[in-house]
């Protein structure tokens, strides 16, 4: 009777269980001095998705229409001083200020309205995908809670090619007590759809990052939009009550069980 063929014992990879708990690339393996082909292809796919998120065209009018229809709240489209996507990426300073036409449009809009408690600004930032997919759900959860608490809310601003500091000029013109910007974040290799929420008390030109608070990684694989809205409500309420934001305003709310980190600065 011929001997049984040799079958090596299965190799138990101790990292297998950990890979199920994180999207991070851990223990990717190698063949010789190179990555495994499967890992190389996965990396290239993630990199392509990140590039697409940064370079994809943004339709602010379409998003404004969708938000206005879904939320029954007026929306207004503005543009930064960056003339196109290439200039926006090369000149961050232009993304921090309104174009002259948009400044005039917003000034006229503000003249017909009184001061408000909060102004929302949505912009493509460095991920059009994030602005298109996450901003709507965040506002859908947050706006009714603010309205029920008696907040006065300016028309939603959808800004093309905006940076974080653009909220200061917009909030100042609208005479908003607080400005809150929902901005597509710089995509990582696995999180091309991540949204950041930045808010500032008494916004005006010249505010710094130390004056802002931020919740980042808003997406289904990080902080779910509904959870982000609840956390924003708690922080915004503190901000209005205590008349401050930034490094002096701390997040004391209990952790909601999200997988994403809460970045507050």
- Chain segment 204-218, per-residue pLDDT in tens: 999 999 999 999 999
- Identify whether the C-beta of residue 139 lies closer than 8 Å to the C-beta of residue 228: no
Share of the chain above pLDDT 70, in %: 90
For residue 167, give the nearest of 129, 214, 133, 222 by alpha carbon.
214
Stretch 156-162: mean pLDDT: 97
Using pLDDT thresholds of 50, 70 and 90, give the confidence band for residue 253: low
* Ordered structural domains, the chain, with CATH: 54-242 (3.40.50.11240)
Stretch 9-29: mean pLDDT: 73
Please report the pLDDT score of residue 255 as a whole number.
Answer: 52
Going by C-beta distance under 8 Å and a sequence separation of 6 or more, which residues neighbour residue 262?
A: 215, 216, 223, 231, 251, 255
Instruction: Give the start-end residues of each E strand in the chain.
Output: 75-79, 116-123, 156-160, 176-184, 195-201, 212-218
- Please state the pTM of the whole predicted model: 0.83
- Between 145 and 32, whose confidence is greater? 145
70-123 per-position pLDDT tens digit: 999 999 999 999 999 999 999 999 999 999 999 999 999 999 999 999 999 999
Share of the chain above pLDDT 90, in %: 69
Stretch 169-194: mean pLDDT: 93
Please report the pLDDT score of residue 187 as a whole number.
Answer: 87
- Between 94 and 252, whose confidence is greater? 94
Residue 248 main-chain phi, psi, to 5 deg: -85, -10
- Between 9 and 217, whose confidence is greater? 217
Residue 31 DSSP code: B
DSSP calls for 55-95: HS---HHHHHHHHHHHHT--EEEEEBS--SHHHHHH-GGGG
Q: Which strands make up the sheet holding 212-218, listed edge to edge?
A: 75-79, 156-160, 116-123, 176-184, 195-201, 212-218
Burial bucket for residue 7 (CB in 10 Å: 0-12, 13-18, 19+): exposed
């Amino acid at each position: 009777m011929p001997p049984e063929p040799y079958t090596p014992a299965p190799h138990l990879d101790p990292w297998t269980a950990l890979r199920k708990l994180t999207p991070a690339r851990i223990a990717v393996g190698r063949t010789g001095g190179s990555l495994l082909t499967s890992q190389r292809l996965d990396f290239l796919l993630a990199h392509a998705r990140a590039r697409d998120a940064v370079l994809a065209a943004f339709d602010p009018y379409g998003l404004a229409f969708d938000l206005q229809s879904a939320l029954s709240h007026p929306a207004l489209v503005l543009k930064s001083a960056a003339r196109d996507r290439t200039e926006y990426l090369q000149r961050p300073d232009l993304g921090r200020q309104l174009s002259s036409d948009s400044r005039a449009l917003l000034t006229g809009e503000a003249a017909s309205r009184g001061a408000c408690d909060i102004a929302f600004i949505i912009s493509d930032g460095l991920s059009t995908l994030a602005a298109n997919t996450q901003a709507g759900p965040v506002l859908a959860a947050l706006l009714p809670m603010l309205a029920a608490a008696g907040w006065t809310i300016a028309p939603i601003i959808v800004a093309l090619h905006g940076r974080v500091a653009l909220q200061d000029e917009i909030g100042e013109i609208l005479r908003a007590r607080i400005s809150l910007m929902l901005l597509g974040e710089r995509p990582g290799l696995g999180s091309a759809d991540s949204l950041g929420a930045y808010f500032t008390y008494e916004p005006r030109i010249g505010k710094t990052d130390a004056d802002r608070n931020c919740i980042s990684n808003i997406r289904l694989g990080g902080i779910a939009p509904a959870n982000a809205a609840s956390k924003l409500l708690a922080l915004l309420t503190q901000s209005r009550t205590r008349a401050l934001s930034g490094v002096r305003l701390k997040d004391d709310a209990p952790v909601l069980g999200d997988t994403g980190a809460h970045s507050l600065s």
